[in-house]
């Protein structure tokens, strides 16, 4: 961002790429969107509530009250009739926008200081791929809370190390957490989406990892 805060991170974990969009904040930045090369993606409102959620089957768009505004399925995956996608464009903030045109045409655009960068984060999943994927891991409430607090504690330790390394300046306050911690936070949010837990607990866990 023009402020110097990190906006977009692309990292690799095992056999897939993950793109993370962060909010323009000096401290531990909130995750505004994440896109994975296996077809799963999620965008969040500024308060952390889910905005758009996509999988290899399709996606859904939610309003800020949590009500589903629209739903669609990708035409190449499931046989028979499908719910078509109407193009979607949202602004995560004044610099980052997301445009969803098709499964393989999901664009993240970054505009600042008169210059623009555009990323195509869509992917094409072949028919039958859904049956080859393992079912998502489902954890209980206590396990999810423990994982969230573990990441939060590691984040605090990382900030303490930054403070010790830069005791006479505020530079440590702008340092981003290590990539592995951001990846772990993303994984916990994914597990929350797959778990059978209340929306209140899901919001609490999201607040812990994004604090």
| Integer CA distances (angstroms), 210 to 24, 105, 121, 146, 155, in order | 13, 28, 23, 15, 10
Q: Do 86 and 37 fall into the same domain? A: yes
Where are the alpha helices (H) located in 1-140, listed in sequence order? 129-132
* Within a domain: 34: yes
pLDDT for the residue numbered 131: 42
- Report if residue 77 sits inside a domain: yes
**Residues 170-202: tens digit of each pLDDT:** 555 556 666 767 777 887 887 777 777 788 888
Q: Is residue 136 part of a domain?
A: no
Where in the sequence is the domain holding 20, given as residue range(s)? 6-120
Is the pTM above the cut of 0.75? no
Looking at the fold, whether 99 and 155 belong to one and the same domain comes out as: no
Q: Are residues 84 and 184 in the same domain?
A: no
Give the end of a domain, one of 87, 120, 153.
120
How many residues can be counted in the chain? 211
| Per-residue pLDDT tens digits for 119-150 | 898 887 654 544 444 444 456 777 788 888 88
Residues 32 and 98 in one domain: yes
CA-closest candidate to residue 68, choices 79, 55, 53, 89: 53
Same domain? 38 vs 110: yes
In a shared domain, residues 92 and 175:
no
In a domain, 87, yes or no: yes
Name the more confident of 162 and 98.
Answer: 98
- 52 and 105 housed in the same domain: yes
C-beta neighbour count of 60 within 10 angstroms: 15
- Residue ranges of alpha helices (H) inside the chain are 129-132, 141-165, 179-194, 199-209
User: How many domains does one find in the chain?
Assistant: 2
Q: Could you read off the pLDDT of 21-43 as tens digits, one per residue? A: 999 987 777 889 999 888 889 99
Is the domain of 73 the same as that of 17?
Answer: yes
Same domain, 167 and 203: yes
Mark whether 88 and 45 lie in a shared domain: yes
Confidence band, pLDDT 50/70/90 cuts, at residue 80 = low
Same domain, 44 and 116: yes
């Amino acid at each position: 961002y023009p402020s110097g805060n990190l906006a977009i991170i692309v990292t690799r974990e095992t056999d897939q790429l993950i793109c993370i969009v962060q909010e323009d904040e000096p401290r531990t930045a909130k995750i505004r969107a994440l896109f994975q090369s296996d077809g799963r993606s999620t965008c969040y409102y500024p308060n952390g509530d889910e905005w758009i959620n996509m999988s290899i089957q399709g996606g859904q768009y939610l309003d800020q009250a949590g009500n589903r505004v629209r739903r669609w399925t990708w035409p190449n995956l499931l046989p028979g009739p499908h719910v078509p996608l109407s193009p979607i464009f949202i602004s995560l903030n004044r610099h980052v926008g997301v445009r969803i045109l098709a499964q393989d045409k999901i664009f993240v655009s970054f505009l600042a200081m008169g210059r623009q960068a555009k990323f195509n984060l869509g992917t094409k999943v072949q028919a039958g791929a859904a049956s080859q994927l393992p079912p998502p891991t489902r954890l209980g409430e206590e396990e999810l809370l423990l994982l969230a607090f573990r990441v939060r504690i590691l984040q605090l330790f990382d900030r303490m190390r930054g403070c010790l390394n830069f005791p006479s300046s505020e530079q440590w306050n702008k340092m981003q957490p290590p990539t592995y911690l951001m990846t772990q936070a993303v994984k916990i949010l994914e597990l929350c989406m797959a778990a059978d837990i209340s929306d209140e607990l899901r919001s609490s866990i999201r607040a812990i990892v994004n604090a």
